[in-house]
Amino acid sequence: MFKKFKEIATAWVVAANPSPEQKAIAEYRISICNGCEHRKQNTTLVDFYYCGLCGCPLSRKIFSQEPGPEACPENKWEK
């Protein structure tokens, strides 16, 4: 549980000021998420997309510092 919390917190920090490499990885990851069957939209309070498997907001999940296959619940990210 703590590992997941740390992963999410770190992703939020990185998303605020990503390096060029982190930005490139995030763009690759969101391109996969945009076509994923688990991508869900929440319009209740704020309009955003999230992963239907883990519940993470995609705009931050894509900045996870975990290796791609470990960060994506479906192992769809190679990096």
Residue 1 in tokens? 């549980």
Binned at pLDDT 50, 70 and 90, residue 5 comes out as confident
Write down the pTM of the prediction: 0.91
pLDDT digits (tens, 9 = 90+) for 11-39: 999 999 999 999 999 999 999 999 999 99
- pLDDT tens digits, 33-60: 999 999 999 998 889 999 999 999 999 9
pLDDT at residue 1, as a whole number: 63
User: How far is Cα 16 from Cα 24, in angstroms, rounded to an integer?
Assistant: 14
Task: Identify residue 73 by its one-letter amino acid code.
Answer: P
